[in-house]
Every structure is written in structure tokens, then in C-alpha cells.
Amino acid sequence: MQAKVQKPLPQAEYFFNERCWILESWNDESDSAVSVARARVEVGVTTKSHRLEGVVERYVIVEGTGVVTIGGMDPERVGPGDVVIVPAGVDQAIRNVGDSDLIFYCICTPRFTSACYKPTPTD
């Protein structure tokens, strides 16, 4: 791998059917070990419950306040600086309970692909 600075384009942000906005920061076939995306959840929105098969996900909360639900854990309030670890294959969702957008980075290992995304059957 070569040294590089990757600059995501703000206009490339897209709405994902999970009910949030996604801006891919790094997700390249040449680096199957990791992907990084910025997620933005609007006020009052809860993402659809889902799991990532074979992929561990970490949220790094940057702005806003949310309540995250992971598997059988009790829902937990999160805010700037918090890191949320979601094991592979475990259902997850996050709700924006603040008064501004909830923004966090999703770091996936190995990298996220649409094939790993599975909606929770009861959602």
C-alpha cells in the first residue's frame, strides 16, 4: 500500500435505506482490511435494526447525542468521543435523541460491502 491522503467529497453523501446519510471516507477493494464511512442520523430518527455478517463495526461518535442498541445489551446513551463496538453478526441500531444531527464514523473490519449488510428479520 502506498501513502495517500483520501479526501471524501461532501456532495457524494447519499441516503441509505437504513434511514441515515452515508459519506464513504475510505472503502476500496485494494484495502480489504478496513473501511471508514461517516454516518449522519437526523433528529428523531432511529436507524433500521441490522447486522453485518463477518464484519466488526466500531462507531466513533463525533457530534450529537444518541441511544445505541446492540444485541441483548440495554440501550445506552452515547455522545462525542464515545466508541461503540459492534461484534460481527450482532443486531444494532442507533437513535438520535438530541436536537442536532448525530454524526459518527463507522470503521469496519474487514471492509464493508453490501453483501455483509443484513436487516434484522423482525424490523
Q: Which CATH superfamily is domain 26-116 in?
A: Jelly Rolls (2.60.120.10)
What is the pLDDT at residue 77? Answer: 98
What is the pLDDT at residue 46? Answer: 98
**Would the CA dihedral through 107, 14, 9, 60 be positive or negative?**
negative
| pTM as predicted | 0.94
What is the pLDDT at residue 88? Answer: 98
What is the pLDDT at residue 123? Answer: 47
Residues of the chain with pLDDT under 70: 123
